[in-house]
């Protein structure tokens, strides 16, 4: 065998040695990756909206021995608890053996996704077709949401206090909905428009019916026939839409992508891919952790982590304060010693669009979970910018556990950017850093991720919880 040349040895010892993950994992890890992703794909299909995701998460948590945490309830190490925030977000924890004054480990993800919400007065008829008007939620590219099959999920809250669940499209044999677009033959003018302006928001109208009410000569017979069906199925009238939260979401299930099945295509990877990782890592803790492990699945990240169910809400602080009260620990003493992995997806390098990426600092598919020291845009505006010491702590943690990871930015500095819940956790005096799965076509109705990266995000969460 040839001796290695001095330059070669120097390169090995001095240059970064990051490799494609598939070149480094053993067979057992390969199996673990595919098994883990089967579970993740089921999780995606069960919870396409924040409400259904919370429901499904709670179901799985209960089956694993988690109990609802009521204020004043006694805590003991190993205890598994959760608290749901208005059906739209959930915090879960496994109580550690150490006191809460040693801080907690947190993995915080969000479970809301870009989608089309129904407007408060949505139903109308035009051209003898019935439609539901939508108001888009989050940063989506409107042209991607036309001519695809859509489901309708959500709730109608009635004045009597009852809440009616609506789910059309989830069950086999259910009808679906769609938004129409111009045919190329008549789209010459539209095709000349800017991509962002070609589909106006007010054209995002869900086609929901075309059969007029029989033996009737009044106005809006198609709309009336649709309202009659809704009344028969859900007992609602037109005014009940006023207190509803109904979301049109893509009707396709998660699926393997590629001849080699190495990728997953689905709606809602951002950010259920990290939400599932944070949650599953908590479920899979082999023993009582030293520090209490907390999984946060927040709502409203896509519109700025606002509102009562977003990460800026005091809900999280209240949950943590209620835990701390049981051990007579001030919340601020717990927070200042805590560590948070803000688990949110990052942008994967797309070779079709190299012009928006800076190659040395872009996340690559199959190189593991992407760590962002900072997100934001321009001069790091809107970032939390983790301290070098925090990055070093995470480097050691992940390397010790053989978790594959890569450091990345969100594209070229002046091209764009994005934010996560990280700054809201850091505002609480908690050391926080972003980590997540690189995504292709982020915010599209059908996003793509690598199975290896999904698994490494889970492994990173486990490393954090287990310290």
Interface segment toward Mn ion; rule CB under 5 A; list 126-134, 141-149, 269-277, 392-400:
269-277
C-alpha 60/C-alpha 201 separation (Å) is 37
| Residue number, 50 or 271, with CB nearest to Mn ion | 271
Angle at 59 between CA 29 and CA 266, to 5 degrees: 55
C-alpha 253/C-alpha 275 separation (Å) is 18
What single DSSP character describes residue 131?
Answer: E
Per CB under 5 A, the list member of 112, 125, 247, 270 interacting with Mn ion is: 270
| Residue number, 156 or 386, with CB nearest to Mn ion | 386
Minimal distance, residue 116 CB to Mn ion, in Å: 15
Minimal distance, residue 373 CB to Mn ion, in Å: 17
Query: 10 Å Cβ neighbour count for 337?
Result: 17
What single DSSP character describes residue 253?
Answer: P
Minimal distance, residue 449 CB to Mn ion, in Å: 12
| Residue number, 132 or 347, with CB nearest to Mn ion | 347
Do 108 and 338 contact (CB within 8 A), yes or no? Answer: no
| Residue number, 271 or 453, with CB nearest to Mn ion | 271
| CA distances in angstroms from 247 to 89, 122, 259, 326, listed in the order given | 16, 12, 33, 39
Minimal distance, residue 226 CB to Mn ion, in Å: 33
Minimal distance, residue 271 CB to Mn ion, in Å: 4
| Residue number, 229 or 303, with CB nearest to Mn ion | 303
Minimal distance, residue 435 CB to Mn ion, in Å: 12
Residue nearest to Mn ion (CB): 271
Interface segment toward Mn ion; rule CB under 5 A; list 20-28, 244-252, 267-275, 281-289:
267-275
| Residue number, 247 or 271, with CB nearest to Mn ion | 271
C-alpha 63/C-alpha 282 separation (Å) is 13
DSSP string for 188-236? HHHHTS-HHHHS-GGG-EEEEE-PPPTT--SS-HHHHHHHHHHHHHH--
Residue 50 makes contact with Mn ion by CB under 5 A: no
Q: Which residue has the tokens 């910018």?
A: 385
- Terminal CA-to-CA distance of the chain, rounded, Å? 42
Minimal distance, residue 436 CB to Mn ion, in Å: 7
Minimal distance, residue 114 CB to Mn ion, in Å: 7
The 3 state secondary structure assigned to 324-379 is HHHCCCCHHHHHHCCEEEEECCEEECCCCCHHHCCHHHCECCCCCEEEECCCEECC
| Residue number, 368 or 417, with CB nearest to Mn ion | 417
| Number of shown-chain residues binding Mn ion (CB under 5 A) | 3
| Residue number, 270 or 409, with CB nearest to Mn ion | 270
C-alpha 366/C-alpha 260 separation (Å) is 13
Residue 228: CB partners within 8 Å, gap ≥ 6?
Answer: 213
Do 168 and 224 contact (CB within 8 A), yes or no? Answer: no
Minimal distance, residue 344 CB to Mn ion, in Å: 4
| Residue number, 254 or 345, with CB nearest to Mn ion | 345
Per CB under 5 A, the list member of 112, 151, 220, 271 interacting with Mn ion is: 271
Interface segment toward Mn ion; rule CB under 5 A; list 118-126, 268-276, 335-343, 384-392:
268-276
- Considering only residues 332 to 361 of the shown chain, the ones binding Mn ion according to CB under 5 A are 344
- The residues binding Mn ion (CB under 5 A) are 270-271, 344
């Amino acid at each position: 065998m040839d001796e290695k040349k001095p330059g070669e040895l120097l390169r090995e010892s001095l240059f970064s040695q990051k490799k494609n993950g598939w070149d480094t994992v053993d067979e057992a890890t390969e199996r673990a990756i595919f098994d883990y992703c089967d579970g993740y794909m089921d999780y995606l299909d069960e919870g396409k909206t924040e409400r259904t995701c919370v429901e499904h998460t709670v179901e799985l948590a209960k089956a694993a021995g988690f109990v609802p945490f009521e204020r004043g309830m006694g805590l003991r190490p190993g205890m598994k608890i959760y608290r749901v925030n208005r059906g739209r977000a959930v915090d879960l924890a496994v109580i550690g053996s150490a006191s809460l004054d040693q801080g907690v480990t947190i993995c915080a993800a969000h479970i809301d996704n870009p989608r089309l919400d129904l407007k408060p007065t949505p139903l109308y008829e035009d051209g003898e077709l019935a439609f539901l008007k939508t108001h888009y939620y989050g940063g989506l590219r409107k042209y991607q949401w036309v001519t695809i099959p859509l489901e309708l999920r959500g709730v109608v809250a009635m004045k009597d206090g009852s809440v009616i669940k609506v789910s059309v499209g989830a069950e086999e044999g259910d009808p679906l909905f769609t938004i129409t677009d111009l045919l190329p033959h008549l789209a010459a003018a539209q095709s000349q428009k800017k991509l962002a302006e070609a589909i106006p928001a007010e054209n995002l109208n869900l086609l929901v019916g075309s059969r007029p009410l029989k033996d009737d000569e009044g106005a809006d017979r198609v709309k009336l026939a649709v309202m009659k069906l809704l009344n028969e199925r859900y007992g609602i009238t037109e005014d009940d839409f006023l207190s509803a939260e109904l979301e049109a979401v893509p009707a396709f299930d998660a699926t393997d992508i590629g001849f080699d099945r190495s990728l997953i295509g689905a709606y809602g990877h951002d950010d259920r891919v990290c939400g599932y990782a944070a949650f599953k890592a908590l479920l899979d803790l082999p023993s009582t952790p030293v520090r209490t492990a907390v999984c946060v699945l927040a709502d409203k990240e896509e519109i700025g982590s606002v509102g009562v169910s977003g990460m800026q809400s005091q809900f999280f602080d209240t949950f943590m304060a209620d835990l701390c009260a049981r051990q007579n620990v001030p919340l601020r003493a717990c927070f200042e010693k805590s560590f948070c992995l803000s688990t949110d997806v990052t942008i994967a390098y797309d070779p079709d669009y190299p012009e928006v990426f800076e190659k040395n600092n872009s996340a690559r598919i199959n190189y593991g979970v992407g760590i962002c020291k900072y997100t934001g845009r321009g001069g790091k505006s809107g970032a939390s910018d983790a301290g070098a010491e925090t990055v070093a702590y995470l480097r050691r943690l992940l390397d010790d556990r053989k978790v594959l990871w890569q450091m990345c930015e969100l594209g070229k500095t002046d091209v764009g950017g994005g934010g996560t819940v990280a700054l809201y956790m850091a505002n609480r005096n908690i050391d926080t850093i972003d980590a997540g799965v690189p995504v292709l076509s982020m915010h599209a109705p059908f996003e793509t991720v690598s199975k290896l990266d999904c698994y490494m995000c889970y492994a990173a969460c486990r490393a954090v919880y287990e310290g």
